[in-house]
Amino acid sequence: MFKKIIILFALILISGISPASKSIEYVPADVLKPGEQLIYKVKYFFLRVGTLRLVNLGIVEEGALKGYFKLRIKIDSSPGIPFVTIHDIYETYVDSNAVPAEFHAWEQKGKYTLETDYIFRNDENLAVVQMRKVYPDRVEIVEDKQLPIDRTYRDVLALLYFARQKSSENYRKIIIPTFALGTTDSCWFNEVGSIRTLKYRKEKLPCYYIQGRVKFIGVAGIKDDFEGWFSGDESRVPLKAKMKAFFGSVTIELESSENWLAAK
């Protein structure tokens, strides 16, 4: 028995991974922190193709959305990337469970901006969808409709914060009703809560891992299978993701942060 322990200890030393590096001391998730700002680089192989800025703008203090968290993501493609020009903004207002009340998007489409609004009236089992093309000299209505909903839906940005909240919980599969492109769809988390080691800033960190699949085309053409690695502290910060976009597979990595205490 003693010999087996010595052999195991030697293997650990050779591999350079300590037993603690594969474990996380569990703390409850607290992912909705006002002032948090996370900046990500988007890479296609070794080429940087864009930047994501994820911001928690705080709690709304008045009006119909009082008490909701205002969240924003800004997506910009890198200058000089052929055939790819993206300068889009998405905002959502969510409660403490990442359930949205409203979602708004502004997507640059060359000569016009596509503006999208989703208003979730969950108490009425109803969602209002409004989409319009805004040109410099006119506005064209694309959609103006109401859809019946019989469950809680999340928009694509609320979905990210929901993933952060659930990343440490062990599930074989979660199916999340999702609102995208003006209609109802779904996202699947096929593996949730396992612990994987991620090399981040020259360190090997134990992270919560999610593998899943979106059944729709999301922001910036995101589609199909994805993987995500989340920090082990209460913020469950997304450190890295791999997913498919309209021009191929991309890697998204955290580049800098503000008001993330674990980063210090």
For residue range 13-55, list pLDDT tens digits in order.
Answer: 333 333 334 678 889 999 999 999 999 999 998 899 999 999 9
Specify the pLDDT at position 1.
Answer: 43
Q: Are strands 248-258 and 126-134 parallel, antiparallel or unpaired?
A: unpaired
Is residue 247 included in any domain, yes or no? yes
Give the pair of three-digit tokens for residue 110. 């060359």
**Biggest CA-to-CA distance, the chain:** 81
Highest mean pLDDT among 179-193, 208-222, 226-240, 244-258: 226-240
Tokens of 45: 């192989």
Residue 7 lies in a domain: no
Asked whether residue 68 is assigned to any structural domain, the reply reads yes
In this structure, is residue 4 part of a structural domain? Answer: no
Is position 2 within any domain?
no
Predicted TM-score (pTM) of this structure = 0.88
Write the pLDDT tens digit of every residue in 166-188.
Answer: 999 988 889 999 988 888 889 99
CA–CA gap between residue 161 and residue 155 (Å, rounded): 10
137: phi then psi, degrees, rounded to nearest 5: -120, 0
Residue 194 scores a pLDDT above 70: yes
Give mean pLDDT, residues 140-160: 95
Q: How many CB atoms lie within 10 A of CB 6?
A: 9
Q: Residue 97 sits in which domain range?
A: 23-252
Cα–Cα distance for residue pair 117/104, rounded to 1 Å: 5
The residue type found at 80 is G
Does residue 199 register a pLDDT over 60?
A: yes
More confident residue, 21 or 147: 147
How many structural domains is the chain composed of? 1
C-alpha to C-alpha distance for 122 and 61, rounded to whole angstroms: 21
Phi, psi of 198 (to 5 degrees): -120, 135
Residue 231 to residues 135, 150, 187, 201, 240, Cα–Cα distance (Å): 42, 33, 22, 13, 9
pLDDT of residue 9: 32
Residue 160 has pLDDT above 50, yes or no: yes
Q: Which residues of 119-158 are buried (b: 16+ CB within 10 A; e: fewer)?
A: bbeeeeeebebbbbeeeeeeeeeeeeeeeebeeebbbbbb
Mean pLDDT of 92-110: 97
pLDDT of residue 142: 96
